[in-house]
Amino acid sequence: MSKFSILVLNGPNLNLLGKREPNIYGHLTLEDINKMLEQEATKLDVTLSCLQSNHEGFLVDSIHNALNHHQGILINAGAYTHTSVAIRDALAGVAIPVVEVHLSNIYRREDFRHHSYIAAIAIGQISGFGGQSYLLGLQALVNYLQEK
Ligand code: DQA
Protein backbone atom coordinates (compact mmCIF):
# COMPACT_ATOMS: atom_id res chain seq x y z
CA MET A 1 0.00 0.00 0.00
CA SER A 2 1.23 3.50 -0.77
CA LYS A 3 2.17 5.82 2.07
CA PHE A 4 -0.50 7.95 3.71
CA SER A 5 -0.20 11.65 2.98
CA ILE A 6 -1.30 14.04 5.73
CA LEU A 7 -2.19 17.72 5.37
CA VAL A 8 -1.14 19.75 8.44
CA LEU A 9 -3.12 23.00 8.52
CA ASN A 10 -2.46 25.92 10.86
CA GLY A 11 -4.76 28.90 11.10
CA PRO A 12 -4.39 32.56 12.07
CA ASN A 13 -1.62 33.91 14.30
CA LEU A 14 0.13 30.55 14.55
CA ASN A 15 2.92 32.02 12.38
CA LEU A 16 3.73 34.10 15.49
CA LEU A 17 4.41 31.07 17.71
CA GLY A 18 7.59 31.55 19.71
CA LYS A 19 6.92 35.22 20.33
CA ARG A 20 3.13 35.11 20.76
CA GLU A 21 1.95 34.98 24.41
CA PRO A 22 4.66 32.44 25.36
CA ASN A 23 3.09 31.97 28.81
CA ILE A 24 0.12 30.36 26.99
CA TYR A 25 1.62 28.94 23.80
CA GLY A 26 5.21 28.19 24.84
CA HIS A 27 8.48 29.02 23.11
CA LEU A 28 8.43 26.65 20.13
CA THR A 29 8.07 28.31 16.73
CA LEU A 30 5.83 26.86 14.04
CA GLU A 31 9.01 25.85 12.20
CA ASP A 32 10.15 23.92 15.31
CA ILE A 33 6.77 22.15 15.46
CA ASN A 34 6.86 21.32 11.75
CA LYS A 35 10.38 19.86 12.15
CA MET A 36 9.19 17.70 15.08
CA LEU A 37 6.25 16.57 12.96
CA GLU A 38 8.51 15.71 10.01
CA GLN A 39 10.68 13.53 12.28
CA GLU A 40 7.59 11.76 13.62
CA ALA A 41 6.23 11.34 10.08
CA THR A 42 9.46 9.61 9.03
CA LYS A 43 9.08 7.18 11.95
CA LEU A 44 5.43 6.57 11.08
CA ASP A 45 6.29 6.23 7.38
CA VAL A 46 3.84 8.89 6.20
CA THR A 47 4.36 12.09 4.21
CA LEU A 48 3.31 15.57 5.36
CA SER A 49 2.35 18.86 3.72
CA CYS A 50 2.42 21.70 6.24
CA LEU A 51 0.53 24.94 5.53
CA GLN A 52 -0.29 28.02 7.61
CA SER A 53 -2.57 30.90 6.71
CA ASN A 54 -4.19 33.86 8.42
CA HIS A 55 -7.01 33.78 5.84
CA GLU A 56 -10.18 31.74 6.22
CA GLY A 57 -10.75 31.39 2.45
CA PHE A 58 -7.22 30.07 1.91
CA LEU A 59 -7.81 27.44 4.60
CA VAL A 60 -11.13 26.45 2.95
CA ASP A 61 -9.40 26.21 -0.47
CA SER A 62 -6.58 24.11 1.02
CA ILE A 63 -9.13 21.69 2.50
CA HIS A 64 -10.86 21.38 -0.91
CA ASN A 65 -7.48 20.82 -2.60
CA ALA A 66 -6.75 17.99 -0.18
CA LEU A 67 -9.32 15.81 -1.99
CA ASN A 68 -7.54 13.03 -3.90
CA HIS A 69 -4.17 14.19 -2.48
CA HIS A 70 -4.31 13.60 1.27
CA GLN A 71 -5.86 10.82 3.34
CA GLY A 72 -5.92 12.74 6.64
CA ILE A 73 -5.96 16.31 7.96
CA LEU A 74 -4.35 17.52 11.20
CA ILE A 75 -5.67 20.98 11.97
CA ASN A 76 -5.11 23.75 14.47
CA ALA A 77 -7.57 26.32 13.15
CA GLY A 78 -6.57 28.85 15.83
CA ALA A 79 -9.32 31.38 16.50
CA TYR A 80 -11.33 30.07 13.51
CA THR A 81 -11.98 26.98 15.64
CA HIS A 82 -14.49 29.06 17.56
CA THR A 83 -16.01 31.04 14.68
CA SER A 84 -15.80 29.30 11.32
CA VAL A 85 -18.77 27.36 10.01
CA ALA A 86 -17.03 27.60 6.60
CA ILE A 87 -13.99 25.59 7.75
CA ARG A 88 -16.21 23.01 9.46
CA ASP A 89 -18.35 22.68 6.31
CA ALA A 90 -15.25 22.31 4.13
CA LEU A 91 -13.92 19.52 6.37
CA ALA A 92 -17.30 17.80 6.41
CA GLY A 93 -17.63 18.31 2.64
CA VAL A 94 -14.40 16.58 1.68
CA ALA A 95 -15.02 13.86 4.30
CA ILE A 96 -11.29 13.34 4.93
CA PRO A 97 -10.59 12.08 8.48
CA VAL A 98 -9.54 15.03 10.65
CA VAL A 99 -7.88 15.41 14.03
CA GLU A 100 -8.15 18.78 15.80
CA VAL A 101 -5.24 20.00 17.93
CA HIS A 102 -4.58 22.96 20.22
CA LEU A 103 -1.45 23.97 22.06
CA SER A 104 -3.40 25.35 25.01
CA ASN A 105 -6.19 23.61 26.91
CA ILE A 106 -9.08 25.59 25.40
CA TYR A 107 -11.42 24.43 28.20
CA ARG A 108 -9.31 26.10 30.89
CA ARG A 109 -9.50 29.44 29.11
CA GLU A 110 -12.14 32.07 28.28
CA ASP A 111 -15.70 30.81 27.71
CA PHE A 112 -15.63 31.80 24.02
CA ARG A 113 -12.86 29.24 23.45
CA HIS A 114 -14.89 26.36 24.93
CA HIS A 115 -16.89 25.76 21.76
CA SER A 116 -15.25 24.29 18.66
CA TYR A 117 -17.11 24.15 15.36
CA ILE A 118 -14.68 21.44 14.26
CA ALA A 119 -14.90 19.03 17.21
CA ALA A 120 -18.18 17.39 16.20
CA ILE A 121 -16.91 16.43 12.74
CA ALA A 122 -13.40 15.39 13.88
CA ILE A 123 -12.28 11.89 14.88
CA GLY A 124 -11.01 13.52 18.05
CA GLN A 125 -9.36 16.52 19.63
CA ILE A 126 -6.08 16.96 21.54
CA SER A 127 -5.77 20.14 23.55
CA GLY A 128 -3.35 21.43 26.16
CA PHE A 129 -0.01 19.71 25.54
CA GLY A 130 1.84 22.48 23.70
CA GLY A 131 3.81 21.27 20.67
CA GLN A 132 3.25 17.72 21.91
CA SER A 133 -0.46 18.07 20.97
CA TYR A 134 0.58 17.99 17.30
CA LEU A 135 2.69 14.84 17.74
CA LEU A 136 -0.07 13.07 19.65
CA GLY A 137 -2.56 14.19 17.02
CA LEU A 138 -0.42 12.89 14.17
CA GLN A 139 0.08 9.53 15.90
CA ALA A 140 -3.67 9.22 16.55
CA LEU A 141 -4.57 10.15 12.98
CA VAL A 142 -2.10 7.71 11.39
CA ASN A 143 -3.20 4.96 13.76
CA TYR A 144 -6.83 5.62 12.77
CA LEU A 145 -5.98 5.46 9.06
CA GLN A 146 -4.01 2.23 9.49
CA GLU A 147 -6.83 0.56 11.43
CA LYS A 148 -9.52 1.69 8.99
C1 DQA B 1 -5.29 27.75 19.84
C2 DQA B 1 -6.43 28.14 20.81
C3 DQA B 1 -7.33 29.17 20.18
O4 DQA B 1 -8.36 29.55 21.10
C5 DQA B 1 -6.55 30.41 19.81
O6 DQA B 1 -7.37 31.34 19.15
C7 DQA B 1 -5.35 30.11 18.99
C8 DQA B 1 -4.53 28.95 19.35
C9 DQA B 1 -4.28 26.78 20.51
O10 DQA B 1 -3.53 26.15 19.77
O11 DQA B 1 -4.22 26.69 21.73
O12 DQA B 1 -4.99 30.84 18.09
O13 DQA B 1 -5.88 27.06 18.74
Ligand 1 centroid – CA 82 distance (Å): 9
Atom of ligand 1 nearest to the CA of 105: 11
Ligand 1 centroid – CA 105 distance (Å): 9
Atom of ligand 1 nearest to the CA of 82: 4
With a 6 Å cutoff on the Cβ, whether 106 touches ligand 1 is yes
Q: Which CATH fold topology does 4-147 show?
A: Rossmann fold (3.40.50)
Calpha distance 50→141 (Å, rounded): 15
Ligand 1 centroid – CA 3 distance (Å): 30
pLDDT grade for 1, boundaries at 50, 70 and 90: low
Which pLDDT value is given to residue 118? 98
| Ranges of each domain in the chain | 4-147
Ligand 1 centroid – CA 68 distance (Å): 29
Percent of the chain beyond pLDDT 90?
99
Does the annotation count 70 as an active-site position? no
For residue range 93-118, what is the model confidence (pLDDT) as tens digits? 999 999 999 999 999 999 999 999 99
For atom 9 of ligand 1, which residue has the closest CA?
A: 102
**Dihedral sign (CA 135, 137, 141, 143):** positive
Cα of first residue to Cα of last residue in the chain, in angstroms, is: 13
With a 6 Å cutoff on the Cβ, whether 48 touches ligand 1 is no
Which pLDDT value is given to residue 99? 99
Catalytic residue among 70, 80, 102, 134, which? Answer: 102
* List of residues 6+ apart from 48 with CB closer than 8 A: 5, 6, 7, 8, 34, 37, 38, 41
Does the annotation count 102 as an active-site position? yes
Q: What is the mean pLDDT of residues 56-63?
A: 98
For residue range 118-142, what is the model confidence (pLDDT) as tens digits? 999 999 999 999 999 999 999 999 9
